[in-house]
Amino acid sequence: MGKRKAFKGKRKGGQEGGARAPRQPSGGGFADIVRDNQSFVDYYKGQNLLSEDEFSTFYDILKTPLPTTFRITGSRKSALDLRDAMESKYVPSLQGLVIDDVSIEPPKPLSWYPNDLGWFFKVSRKELRKSEEVKKFHQFIVSETEVGNISRQEAVSMIPPLLLDVRPHQSVLDMCAAPGSKTGQILEAIHANDRQNELPTGIVIANDADYKRAQMLVHQTKRLQSPCFLVMNHNAQHFPNIHVKHEGSEEMLPLKFDRVLCDVPCSGDGTFRKNEAIWKTWSVGDGLGLHTMQLLILLRGIQLLKVGGRLVYSTCSFNPIENEAVVAALLQQSKGSVRLVDVSENLPQLKRRQGVSHWRVMNKEKEWVESFESIPERQRRRFSPTMFPPSDIDLYHMERCLRIYPHDQDTGGFFVAVLEKTTPMTHTDKLSEALKTTERIDTAAAEQEDEQMLKQLSSIAPEDVAGDVHVRGEDTQDTPVDSAATPSSVSANEIGPENDTAEPPAKRHSTDTSSAVEAKRPRKEKTPTVAPLKEEPFIFLKPENSDIADFSNFYGLDPKFPATSFLVRSEISKNRTIYYVSEAVKNVLSAPDAHRLRVVNTGIKAFVRQENVQGEGSPWRVSSESLSLLEPFMSKRKIIIDEDELRLVVMEVFPKIEHFKADRQQMLNELVPGCAIFEFEPKPDSKLLLRQKLVLPVWKARVSFNVLINKQERKSLAMRLFGELPQDVPPNLQQLTHRLDKVQDGE
Ligand SMILES: C[S@@+](CC[C@H](N)C(=O)[O-])C[C@H]1O[C@@H](n2cnc3c(N)ncnc32)[C@H](O)[C@@H]1O
């Protein structure tokens, strides 16, 4: 697992539920930079989004640092266990704490986040150093963050996935997903009702145009261990059609999604409190330069949405050009097939303002432009008519959009629109609908017509506003978009779904470049290509494969478990690691157009081969990544242990068999050396903060065991269950715990 970002305390600046008088921060990690930008003030005052008085409250709070917020992540049961540990152990220890005459507010759940899984904590570094209790809590948060049970995430960034309303077993596309905190929430929703002996059927595709950032998605979601997850690397506005079989038909039709998230690249002026650099760089050109790309991404998202499906469009910008203008243009294009959903009853504790129906466009010379028609012909290429409020805007219920202002509940700024496709809008929608009747439509022609729709839109895009566009790369960690990180292979410029014919672009526009990063530095035309990704291939094993037979026999794997979904990633180091993917992911990887897909990662490690396993043992170690999924289907090599033995296994290094209960010793001695599974079921009266069955992979040697979880996970488990740190692995044995083939009782 990749190392996660450390949890750091931030300085004070208000509290959830209402803004305090802002203070100019000094030190404490909030660098001294000039927090003022006259262009920003002129632009937003001129937009009349807030009254004069309110504007100064809004502007003042933007100058203060953001409180720390985090989310308890992971499977539903383990997240609730961790929440309970926090509420019963740590929060009480921080009650009534006073440091240097200032009372410290204990961490508390965000009032609007369901099941108290979103949290808010305000403590400065100085306070952290001065209090043992705060330090202890901090250590707990750090270790849980390292193993991925806690994820630092800005409060406002948690909103879009909640309003996306993902249900288990749905198909979801997250179009601009990296670094992936929202993807994490989506995956949790997909697995919310997972039951033993049932394989999950949903699918989540997380996509990002930046290859390196797409890889961040793999780390961010690793903890969730989902076989339903694919990471892809495409320009969202060109996201390819994937042809799969649809229910009730043998025809291969483009995959459509129940849910689509378009958390688009934006100017990020809602993140002033966190990304201080924006104070210096913000300019009116930012929103203008991004508008068309945002609209193209949204339109492609709507094309890929099922009829009856839901799409959430979001930005962390206050700018109507990036927000309402994009949504209104889409609604106009949709000719009544798409509507804004009224979510005013959802998340009732969340303070939000309505979207606006009136806004203005300012040019780079800081003059207000009344209408597209009023722009002299020679300057029009800098603008798009879609930047202006359409004449029929009152039809669209723009008030249903959500504007989140920082001074309402001490957060960053955000914009969210929830859209629903109510009737077929695109030609490919009509294809799917035709399946329900005897009508037949030409698939290729329908797809071309959808492409045409995107091309038409891009042809009205402005040409040269993007020269100095500043793009918000992401909104959950502090790493800026690294322009050098965009691989040259991410270079598809053609408008419409990607294809492998090098078709010339309809027209070269600086704003519809292949990624936001490129929007910063528009380049001359280049040949559009969809370069293949240098990733290892995905090779499905045949069900009769001898390795599958070996581990199936060793662990007593239920024949109902789909042996067709095991795959390997390399033909050279063949079958060193065997992965597992869900049926829905397998359908995507087996699609006729799979060769065009830039799949960065998919599948969970199921079995890993250990060398030098002798005798009757199997070389196949079950991976902790897939253990909770596979275990219910296994009938052999499972040993139930009690609470004392769990303590022994978690706290000690290489616990000896002779230290287990007498009746267990015989069972353990009879077990053929190799991988096995310890199971612990908490009793109803157990004092342990554990609701669910715990399954641990172990390696059985001659006279002892070794738990096959990494150091951080062992530490987090020990702290959570027993409130103590586990025994350290002695330096001379550290290597051994990683080299199972050499482990002989730690000798
Ligand atoms: C606002 S961030 C997404 C944050 C993410 N949803 C999360 O919650 O962690 C926007 C992302 O869009 C990516 N991006 C920029 N241009 C893109 C494009 N044309 N298609 C797809 N992704 C793009 C950027 O690399 C960046 O990671």
Domains and CATH numbers, the chain: 157-520 (3.40.50.150), 532-628 (3.10.450), 637-747 (no CATH)
Q: What is the pLDDT of residue 236?
A: 97
Mean pLDDT of 563-585: 85
pLDDT over 50 (residue 412): yes
Ligand 1 atom nearest the C-alpha of 220 is 9
Ligand 1 residue neighbourhood (C-beta within 6 Å): 157, 175-182, 208-210, 213, 235-237, 263, 265, 472-476, 515-516
Pairing of β 577-580 and β 604-609: antiparallel
Which one is predicted more confidently, 388 or 249? 388
Ligand 1 atom nearest the C-alpha of 160 is 8
177 marked as part of a ligand binding site: yes
Q: What is the pLDDT of residue 438?
A: 60
Q: pLDDT tens across 435-454, in order?
A: 666 666 677 777 777 777 77
182 marked as part of a ligand binding site: yes
Pairing of β 171-174 and β 257-263: parallel
pLDDT over 50 (residue 281): yes
Ligand 1 atom nearest the C-alpha of 178 is 27
Q: What is the pLDDT of residue 141?
A: 83
Which one is predicted more confidently, 549 or 474? 549
DSSP state of 392: T
Which one is predicted more confidently, 470 or 555? 555
Q: What is the pLDDT of residue 722?
A: 85
401 marked as part of a ligand binding site: no
Distance (angstroms) between ligand 1 centre and the Cα of 204 equals: 16
Q: Comparing 402-406, 533-537, 672-676, which segment has the lowest mean pLDDT?
A: 533-537
Mean pLDDT of 726-742: 57
Residue 199 — pLDDT band, cuts 50, 70, 90?
A: confident
Distance (angstroms) between ligand 1 centre and the Cα of 141 equals: 27
The residue contributing the CA closest to ligand 1 atom 27 is 178
- Compute the C-alpha angle 566/571/243, nearest 5°: 55
Token pair for 650: 């978690």
pTM of the model: 0.85
Q: pLDDT tens across 104-120, in order?
A: 888 999 999 999 999 99
Token pair for 273: 């409190």
Q: Comparing 476-480, 615-619, 710-714, which segment has the lowest mean pLDDT?
A: 476-480
Tell me what ipTM this predicted complex has.
1.00
Distance (angstroms) between ligand 1 centre and the Cα of 488 equals: 17
Q: Comparing 114-123, 193-202, 319-328, 415-424, which segment has the lowest mean pLDDT?
A: 193-202
Residues above pLDDT 70, as percent of the chain: 80
| Pocket residue to mutate for ligand 1, from 4, 176, 298, most atoms within 8 A of Cβ | 176
Ligand 1 atom nearest the C-alpha of 476 is 9
- What ranges in 462-577 are assigned the alpha helix state H? 516-520, 546-555
* C-alpha dist (Å) from residue 155 to 21, 38, 593: 20, 27, 38
pLDDT over 90 (residue 640): yes
Q: How many CB atoms lie within 10 A of CB 438?
A: 6
* HSE value, Cβ hemisphere, 13 Å, CA-based, for 536: 17
Q: What is the pLDDT of residue 744?
A: 38
| Pocket residue to mutate for ligand 1, from 186, 208, 598, most atoms within 8 A of Cβ | 208
How many angstroms separate the CA atoms of 699 and 226, rounded? 24
pLDDT over 90 (residue 154): yes
pLDDT over 80 (residue 26): no
Residues above pLDDT 90, as percent of the chain: 53
Mean pLDDT of 147-151: 87
Q: pLDDT tens across 72-86, in order?
A: 987 777 888 889 888
Residue 317 — pLDDT band, cuts 50, 70, 90?
A: very high
Q: What is the pLDDT of residue 687?
A: 78
Residue 491 — pLDDT band, cuts 50, 70, 90?
A: very low
SS3 label, residue 306: strand
The residue contributing the CA closest to ligand 1 atom 24 is 473
The residue contributing the CA closest to ligand 1 atom 4 is 474
208 marked as part of a ligand binding site: yes
Q: pLDDT tens across 355-410, in order?
A: 999 999 999 899 999 999 999 888 888 899 999 999 999 999 999 999 999 999 99
176 marked as part of a ligand binding site: yes
pLDDT over 70 (residue 1): no
181 marked as part of a ligand binding site: yes
Residue 480 — pLDDT band, cuts 50, 70, 90?
A: very low
Q: What is the pLDDT of residue 216?
A: 94
SS3 label, residue 409: helix
Active-site residue flag, 316: yes
Which stretch, 254-268, 415-429, 463-477, 677-691, has highest mean pLDDT? 254-268
Q: What is the pLDDT of residue 194?
A: 79
Q: What is the pLDDT of residue 698?
A: 93
134-172: b or e for each residue (b if 16 or more CB lie within 10 Å)? beebbebbebbbbbbbbbbbbbbbbbbbbbbbbeeebbb
Q: What is the pLDDT of residue 148?
A: 83
Distance (angstroms) between ligand 1 centre and the Cα of 514 equals: 12
Q: What is the pLDDT of residue 572?
A: 59
Ligand 1 atom nearest the C-alpha of 174 is 6
Q: What is the pLDDT of residue 89?
A: 79
pLDDT over 90 (residue 126): no
Q: Name the catalytic one among 262, 316, 401, 675.
A: 316
Distance (angstroms) between ligand 1 centre and the Cα of 496 equals: 18
The residue contributing the CA closest to ligand 1 atom 17 is 515
Distance (angstroms) between ligand 1 centre and the Cα of 208 equals: 6
How many angstroms separate the CA atoms of 531 and 323, rounded? 32
Ligand 1 atom nearest the C-alpha of 179 is 9
Extract the runs of DSSP E, i.e. beta strands, from 129-185: 150-152, 171-174
Q: Comparing 56-60, 340-344, 428-432, 466-470, which segment has the lowest mean pLDDT?
A: 466-470
How many angstroms separate the CA atoms of 414 and 435, rounded? 39
562 marked as part of a ligand binding site: no
The residue contributing the CA closest to ligand 1 atom 23 is 209
Mean pLDDT, the chain, whole residue set:
82
Q: What is the pLDDT of residue 477?
A: 35
Residues 433/307, Cβ–Cβ less than 8 Å:
yes
Mean pLDDT of 527-554: 80
How many angstroms separate the CA atoms of 588 and 532, rounded? 17
From the list 352, 353, 325, 340, the residue with the least C-alpha distance to 397 is 340
Distance (angstroms) between ligand 1 centre and the Cα of 179 equals: 8
How many angstroms separate the CA atoms of 361 and 372, rounded? 9
Mean pLDDT of 4-10: 37
What torsion, rounded to 10 degrees, do the Cα atoms 497, 500, 504, 505 define?
A: 20
Which stretch, 411-420, 441-450, 610-619, 730-739, has highest mean pLDDT? 411-420
| Pocket residue to mutate for ligand 1, from 216, 474, 510, 600, most atoms within 8 A of Cβ | 474
Mean pLDDT of 193-200: 77
How many angstroms separate the CA atoms of 138 and 489, rounded? 42
